[in-house]
Amino acid sequence: MNSYLTQGLKRAAQINRNGTASICEARRRTWSEVRERVARLAGGLRQLGLSAGGRVAIMSLNGDRYLELHFAVLWAGGTLLPINMRLAPPEIAYILADGEPELICADDAGLALLANLAPPTQPRVHLSDASAPEGWHSYERMIEATPAADDAERCGHDLAGIFYTGGSTGKAKGVMLSHDNLMANAMNAILLVGFDRTSVYLHAPPMFHLNDGMSTYAVTMVGGTHVFIPRFEPGACLAAIQQYRVTNVALAPTMVTMLINHPGVETFDFSAMRQIHFGSSPMPEATLKRAIELWPNLLLNHGWGMTETSPIGTMLPWELRLPAVAGERLRSCGHSAPNCEVMVVDEAGKEVARGAVGELIIRGPNVMVGYWKKPEETAAALRNGWLYTGDAAVMDEDGFVYIVDRLKDMIISGGENVYSTEVESAISLFPGVAEVAVIGIPDERWGEAVHAIIVPRPGAELDVEKIRHHCRGLIAGYKVPRSIEIRASPLPLSGSGKVLKTVLREPFWRGRRL
Amino acid sequence: MNSYLTQGLKRAAQINRNGTASICEARRRTWSEVRERVARLAGGLRQLGLSAGGRVAIMSLNGDRYLELHFAVLWAGGTLLPINMRLAPPEIAYILADGEPELICADDAGLALLANLAPPTQPRVHLSDASAPEGWHSYERMIEATPAADDAERCGHDLAGIFYTGGSTGKAKGVMLSHDNLMANAMNAILLVGFDRTSVYLHAPPMFHLNDGMSTYAVTMVGGTHVFIPRFEPGACLAAIQQYRVTNVALAPTMVTMLINHPGVETFDFSAMRQIHFGSSPMPEATLKRAIELWPNLLLNHGWGMTETSPIGTMLPWELRLPAVAGERLRSCGHSAPNCEVMVVDEAGKEVARGAVGELIIRGPNVMVGYWKKPEETAAALRNGWLYTGDAAVMDEDGFVYIVDRLKDMIISGGENVYSTEVESAISLFPGVAEVAVIGIPDERWGEAVHAIIVPRPGAELDVEKIRHHCRGLIAGYKVPRSIEIRASPLPLSGSGKVLKTVLREPFWRGRRL
């Protein structure tokens, strides 16, 4: 039989039935409780009219009910439709129209977002202990009142979820992931992260995003423990790590930067922590240095992935996760996951020599089925089974992959390629820099000019000329920013914690290409 | 894209191109060499007429060419048909007629077996450095003379191999395993055995059997090293472990018994060895005790599986592989592999209470497609996606599986169930016992009577009455053998090292049911 994701929940209840499945503030549940609740909730979702493959929109901050829904929707035979809680109302309206959910599940934060939209016509489920508002079904009441349903056991190529990406630009695409896709990822996650029954995983980044979701099925399959904080906030994250003796967390590099800059960070007990997984973008040098000072024995596991790859694509081998051992290799995002292939190719799709920059492409059972209702975009992204990622990368002699930039973030100035990430790393080493983003802006003479936007640490005074001088000592002259802007407000971030360069570029390129 | 097995070879060549892929006596090859040889050999197999999905029979002792064929046949688009080298000529003739190979690949040992049969009409490839006999193509010459072929990239549900089982009874069934099946197993093997680039795996049991084959794709995917001895022989096995600093080997319990009884076993250097995997049947108590004395820090990894499950079904969790920690749990074969489900059921297929004996059933992406050309046997074994294994088992409160016996090896004496393995374990503890098998024989009064067949250690004198007395101290009276037979010759073994109880029972049951 083909893989199916609810199998992992049954396994957890078989091998660790009295073990702690979830810790959500004061509420703890065992794996046998979660299994029972999921089977009942699935019955309730079916009673509300959920059809085979029907989408269930989830608008919620992190919590144990989000975990249960991950399984209950599938147990009922439905498809997950998690919604990015940071989107603006028109963006959410677009996804709800495009994704056509049959049901909507929302917590109070989701309710608040929906209040800005035309009232939904679908049946709605309220994720809360409190009594449900009018027109909403109570999640807890459904579980109490419904007998356990049989597992629909959809599997293999059947869709498990639609995950929208790029929503912040208004052109959201729904990434269709099958049971096979997410199961392939779960096996990779268990294997590459090393989850087992003793793992305590903190859901700190938003659960609607696969940076966190990468571990949801894996931690369940091995019967580990899920811990939740409603949203990423450095103090809450540090407190949860200490209080629940968290062993693993996945963070965007920007979140790690926020953690290490948090006042009193060195007073928190990190002794249970085994590994921080980071991806999406390389860790700034300054953050890396400080993290190593703070937690010299903590494994830092650099990986690369995207929603379209469910998401793990590459990860550092185990022996290179201790920064003192890894050295320069920590800047690599490692080798392909065992069951998939990566290649760096030129514009004709031909593999480039090792050491040369090209586009990273990837193929395997973790690669998406396609974009929902977007056959042209699907055909452009998936060619002969390979996903063209839009990431510029280098592969070394030993198969290690280094992401140099998003292709579209690469700056071409006077015919030279400038990788914004390299310039950002150089600037991040300058004392007093908290955040930095480098973009290309229009330039009459050079086509594009390198422009840096910097947010100083509280109280720091930054001298633009000194920063340029600092850069000249680290990178080639043509890479040094021609202009630097100091901002007091934080840089705009996507749901996954990436700096939104499209937003930063927009005022410079208005009326031209973006 | 779906999983395909040659991907693992490409990954090894990408991440460890100059690493040692294979050590076969004096011959060592790197992963980039093996990849190149496989692509050329695949071209040669196609030139000989191999069609998409066509079977390639392999009749060979263990060696590096067997490994290369594992990938070359698939690279060419064919299906593996490994032949058990211990079978009698009529059994081999049956498999060759039933499996209908398009090509036959054989080493000198294979040639000798074929000499007893009607000459094959298919194109034949001779695995040797020497020049090929008349009518045979030289394996090495094909590699020299053929350009590298493109990978056929058959995948997913496409058949990768047909593995015959039960051949020793004359009723061989061809187990059809797909690329998905064997890839699901490879991921389980990497994860559960812990293979990585530093693994050195010894192919000691026959490569035609999946007890060894369980690791072939996994060790390759991670870019580890394969070491070969032509056939299992305890002295050669110990010497190879010492000489090549072997880290992992899979052995049947009977083979472990032969190792620990080998003269001078304690003089061999086992310092590189990490784990011995054993399965097929529980380890006799006496063997276990002696193994722990010899190698106190060696992990013993008890698993359960069968050809029909590609083969891993269950394995002990990591923390229970050190015998001193595991205690009684080392008799368990552990939890289900992460991506599959196991259940213990009654005759109606309903799950029994934890602690009760029933039939073990299993479901997952590693479960075979079916038996080749045998729709009725397939329908009997596979019901609603579940494989009915014929193994009697117990599951405890924590999901640990204990195999108590093959259902057909269970003895029913006076209405009581007697598990032959329990009686064998008791007898194995008696000083001077080298091998033991317990079977049921016809009995007028009790239906079946418990009968033991014992092979003493060289020079040991065994007293039958003392053995019965020893047993009475360990097991219930109705389980104590009513008759005991002492034999000088070794017990008959299957290709995978299991005692052939059908052969032992045959003289007692001739003319009755077997």
> In a 3-state reduction of DSSP, which class is residue B446?
coil
Q: What Cα–Cα distance (Å) separates residue B390 from each residue in B166, B315, B404?
A: 13, 18, 11
Q: Is B351 on the interface with A (CB under 8 A)?
A: no
Long-range pairs for A475-479 at CB < 8 Å and ≥24 separation?
A475/A422, A475/A423, A475/A426, A478/A413, A478/A414, A478/A416, A478/A418, A478/A450, A479/A418, A479/A422, A479/A423, A479/A426, A479/A450
**C-alpha R_g of chain A:** 23
Q: How confident is the model at residue A222 (pLDDT cuts 50, 70, 90)?
A: very high
B187 vs A15, A191, A367: nearest CB: A191
Q: Does A17 touch chain B (CB under 8 A)?
A: yes
Instruction: Give per-residue pLDDT as tens, A357-366.
Output: 999 999 999 9
- Cβ neighbours of residue B508 under 8 Å, at least 6 residues apart? B439, B441, B442, B451
Q: Does B338 touch chain A (CB under 8 A)?
A: yes
Q: Give me the residue from A17, A187, A196 closest to B187, CB to CB.
A: A187
A16 contacts in chain B (CB < 8 Å):
398-399
List strand residue ranges (DSSP E) for A134-262, in order: 137-138, 159-165, 173-178, 200-203, 225-228, 248-251
pTM assigned to the model = 0.89
Order of strands across the sheet with B159-165?
B137-138, B124-126, B103-106, B55-59, B79-82, B159-165, B173-178, B370-371
In this prediction, residue A182 carries a pLDDT of: 98
φ/ψ region of B166 (left if φ > 0, alpha if ψ in -120 to 50, else beta) reads left
Per-residue pLDDT reduced to its tens digit, B417-442? 788 888 998 898 899 999 999 999 98
User: Distance of CA A484 to CAs A53, A455, B108, Å?
Assistant: 50, 11, 75
d(CA A275, CA A321): 8
A367 and B1 in contact by Cβ < 8 A? Answer: yes
Contacts of A365 in chain B (CB under 8 A): 1-3, 183
Instruction: Name the CATH superfamily housing domain A413-509.
Output: ANL, C-terminal domain (3.30.300.30)
DSSP A499: B
Q: At what angle do helices B179-193 and A179-193 cross, to 10 degrees?
A: 20
Residues in chain B within 8 Å Cβ distance of A336: 11, 14-15
Mean pLDDT of A59-72: 98
CA distance A116 to chain B (A): 41
Q: Rounded distance, CA B224 to CA B26, Å?
A: 18
Write the CA distances from A380 to A377, A495, B279, B352, integer angstroms.
Answer: 5, 25, 48, 52
Encoded tokens for B28: 């060592």
Domain B1-176 annotated CATH 3.40.50.12780: yes
Q: Which of A3, A10, A336 sits opposite B365 (nearest CB)?
A: A3
Q: What ipTM describes this predicted complex?
A: 0.87
Q: Give pLDDT, residue A285.
A: 79
Separation between Cα atoms, residue B219 and residue B5, nearest integer Å: 12
What is the per-residue pLDDT for B494? 77
- Report percent pLDDT > 90 for chain A: 75
Cross-chain residue pair B363–A1, CB shorter than 8 Å: yes
Amino acid identity, position B71: F
What per-residue confidence (pLDDT) applies to A446?
80
- Residues contacting B115, CB < 8 A, separation 6+: none
- At the topology level, CATH places domain B410-509 in GMP Synthetase; Chain A, domain 3 (3.30.300)
- Long-range contacts of residues B35-38, Cβ cutoff 8 Å, at least 24 apart: B35/B9, B35/B10, B36/B148, B37/B68, B37/B72, B37/B143, B38/B6, B38/B9, B38/B68, B38/B71, B38/B72, B38/B75
Burial grade of A54 (CB within 10 A; 0-12, 13-18, 19 or more): buried
CATH number of the B232-363+373-407 domain: 3.40.50.12780
Residue B42, both tokens:
């695949």
For chain B, how far is it from start to end, CA to CA, in angstroms?
Answer: 47
Q: Map residue A423 onto helix, strand or coil.
A: helix
Residue B99's CB: how many other CB atoms inside 10 A?
A: 19
**Residue boundaries of the structural domains of chain A:** 413-509
* Length of chain A measured in residues: 514
Q: How many CA atoms lie within 13 A of B279 on its CB side?
A: 27
Min Cα distance A239 → chain B (Å) is 29
Q: Does the structure show a pLDDT above 70 at A367?
A: yes
> What is the reported pLDDT for B280?
60
Same fold, B1-176 and B410-509: no
CB contact under 8 A, B191 and A187: yes
Q: Which of residues 280-319 of B touch A (CB under 8 A)?
A: 317-318
Check B15 against A367: CB less than 8 A apart.
no
**Alpha-carbon gap: A483 to the closest alpha carbon of chain B (Å):** 41
Report residue A421's pLDDT band, with 50, 70 and 90 as the boundaries: confident
Q: Does the beta carbon of A10 lie under 8 angstroms from any beta carbon of chain B?
A: yes
pLDDT tens track, chain B, 514 positions: 789 999 999 999 999 999 999 999 999 999 999 999 999 999 999 999 999 999 999 999 999 999 999 999 999 999 999 999 988 888 899 999 999 999 999 999 999 999 999 999 999 999 999 999 999 999 999 999 999 999 999 999 999 999 998 744 446 899 999 999 999 999 999 999 999 999 999 999 999 999 899 999 999 999 999 999 999 999 999 999 999 999 999 998 888 988 999 999 999 999 999 999 988 666 777 888 899 899 998 999 999 999 999 999 999 999 899 887 888 888 899 999 999 999 999 999 999 999 999 999 999 999 999 999 999 999 999 999 999 998 889 999 999 999 888 777 888 887 777 888 889 988 988 999 999 999 999 888 888 899 999 999 988 999 999 999 999 888 888 889 999 999 988 998 877 677 888 889 888 988 765 4
- Closest-CA residue to B434 (of B234, B299, B250): B234
Question: What whole-number distance in Å separates Cα of residue B361 and Cα of residue B382?
Answer: 9
The answer to whether the Cβ–Cβ distance between A221 and B339 falls below 8 Å is yes
> Is B332 or A495 the better-scoring residue by pLDDT?
B332
By the 8 A CB rule, do A203 and A62 touch?
yes
Q: Which residues of B touch A385 (CB under 8 A)?
A: 1
Q: Evaluate whether A182 touches A307 at the Cβ level (below 8 Å).
A: no
Which segments of A116-187 are extended strands (E)?
A: 124-126, 137-138, 159-165, 173-178
Residue A281 pLDDT > 70? no
Output the pLDDT for position A168.
43
Q: How far apart are CA A391 and CA A74, in angstroms?
A: 32
Mean pLDDT of A450-460: 93
Classify A394 as helix, strand or coil: strand
> CA A320: distance to chain centroid?
22
pLDDT for the residue B512? 65
Contact residues for A227 (Cβ-Cβ < 8 A; gap 6+)? A22, A23, A24, A200, A201, A202, A203, A240, A244, A246
Contact B221 A338 (CB under 8 A): yes
Q: Chain B within 8 Å of A12 (Cβ-Cβ)?
A: no
Among B5, B11, B320, pick the best mutation site for testing chain A contact (most A Cβ within 10 A): B11
B338 contacts A2? CB cut-off 8 A: no
* Closest CB from B15, B338, B395 relative to A335: B15
Residue in B470, B405, B394 with CA at minimum distance from that of residue B439: B405
Question: What pLDDT was estimated at residue A282?
Answer: 65
CB pairs under 8 A between A and B: 100
Token pair 């185990």 in the structure block, residue: A318
Virtual torsion, Cα A158, A162, A163, A166, nearest 10 deg: 120
Please check the confidence at residue A407 and state whether its pLDDT lies above 80.
no
Q: Are A227 and A203 in contact (CB under 8 A)?
A: yes
Q: Give the per-residue pLDDT at B253.
A: 83
Q: Under 8 Å CB-to-CB from B207, ≥6 apart: which residues?
A: B60, B62, B66, B67, B82, B213, B216
Mutate to test the interface with A, among B191, B332, B352, B378 (most CBs of A within 10 A): B191
User: Residues B263, B267, B273, B278: what is their CA dihedral angle, to the nearest 10 degrees?
Assistant: 20
- A120-135 burial, b at 16+ Cβ within 10 Å, e below that, comes to eebbbbbbbeeebeee
Residue A169: is its pLDDT beyond 50? no
- C-beta of residue A427 within 8 angstroms of C-beta of residue A452: yes
Other Cβ atoms closer than 10 A to B263: 9
The answer to whether residue B1 neighbours chain A at the CB level (below 8 Å) is yes
Residue-averaged pLDDT of chain A: 92
Name the residue among A4, A60, A11 with its Cα closest to residue A35. A11
Mutate to test the interface with B, among A5, A17, A339, A354 (most CBs of B within 10 A): A339
Task: Give the C-alpha separation, B404 to B281, whole Å.
Answer: 9
Annotate A15-81 with DSSP letters as a single string.
H-TTSEEEEETTEEEEHHHHHHHHHHHHHHHHHTTPPTT-EEEEE--SSHHHHHHHHHHHHTT-EEE
Secondary structure (3-state) at B513:
coil
**Residue from the list B2, B17, B318 with its beta carbon closest to the beta carbon of A365:** B2
What is the C-alpha separation between B32 and B42, in angstroms, rounded? 15
DSSP state of A170: T
Residue A503 scores a pLDDT above 60 = yes
